[in-house]
Amino acid sequence: TRSTRPQRMLKAVQKNATKGNPESVISAIDYFCKHSEWAMNVGDEKGSILDSVVTEVNPSTVLELGTYCGYSTVRIARLLSPGTKFITLEFNPANVTVARQIIAHAGLQDKVTVVEGSSGDLIPQMKERFGITTFDFIFLDHWKDRYLPDIKLFEECGLLRKGSVLLADNVICPGAPEYLEYVRNSPRYESRYYPAHLEYTTLEDGMEKSVFLG
């Protein structure tokens, strides 16, 4: 049967990227998406914004929602200090399989744990299963209608501390209007919008950075 887009992306990485070289994995995926098949990776423009926020926060604990093929996982993991706890959640087992191989090709398999399951089920398990008390940095890039329920879940589970940073992809396209309304109007967050474009296109998109105030 026909291969899937994530499988074809993995093949492109294995063919064109140097093992152990995260930059070459990032470039190979961006090249594949620009010249072969569009895919919903955060991309190079928004990826640079992600890089700058991760670098600024220099987190000790990181959570990513929506691994997909591992592109943003590699972008984040390559910037982390040794000993940082990084967990990424992915619902689709086929994506887990591809992501783990792309992360391994970058040589970053020891920097991140890819957990199969849905954020709604796994967020309440973070403390007991992974010994996490609070997250310093959270990247939201999964189902857009899960952004709002999941940020509320973080609050309920006591997983945010004063200064925790949440960065959300796609707040314009496809959009997460209820999430935006919440973080921009809640007195418990300081929010800032980073304008950009939908990956590999000229369509408007952007990322919202929200700092939990405690």
Ligand X SMILES: O=C(NC/C=C/[C@H]1O[C@@H](Sc2ccncc2)[C@H](O)[C@@H]1O)c1cc([N+](=O)[O-])cc(O)c1O
Binding partner at 90 among ligand X, Mg ion, none, C-beta below 5 to 8 Å by kind: ligand X
Q: Which of 30, 90, 136, 208 binds ligand X (CB under 6 A)?
A: 90
Which amino acid, 8?
R
Contact 210, 189 (CB under 8 A): yes
Tell me if residue 145 is catalytic: no
Contact 7, 98 (CB under 8 A): yes
Catalytic: which of 64, 150, 170, 205? 170
Q: Which stretch binds Mg ion (CB under 5 A): 51-59, 109-117, 133-141, 174-182?
A: 133-141
123 closest CA partner among 68, 65, 183, 188: 65
Query: How far apart (Å, rounded) are the C-alpha atoms in residues 146 and 151?
Result: 9
Catalytic: which of 85, 111, 144, 209? 144
Tell me if residue 46 is catalytic: no
Per-residue x/- mask for ligand X, residues 144 to 183, rule CB under 6 A? --x----------------------xx--xx---------
Q: Which is nearer to ligand X, 58 or 142 (CB)?
A: 142
Tell me if residue 136 is catalytic: no
Q: How many residues in the chain?
A: 214
Contact 51, 26 (CB under 8 A): no
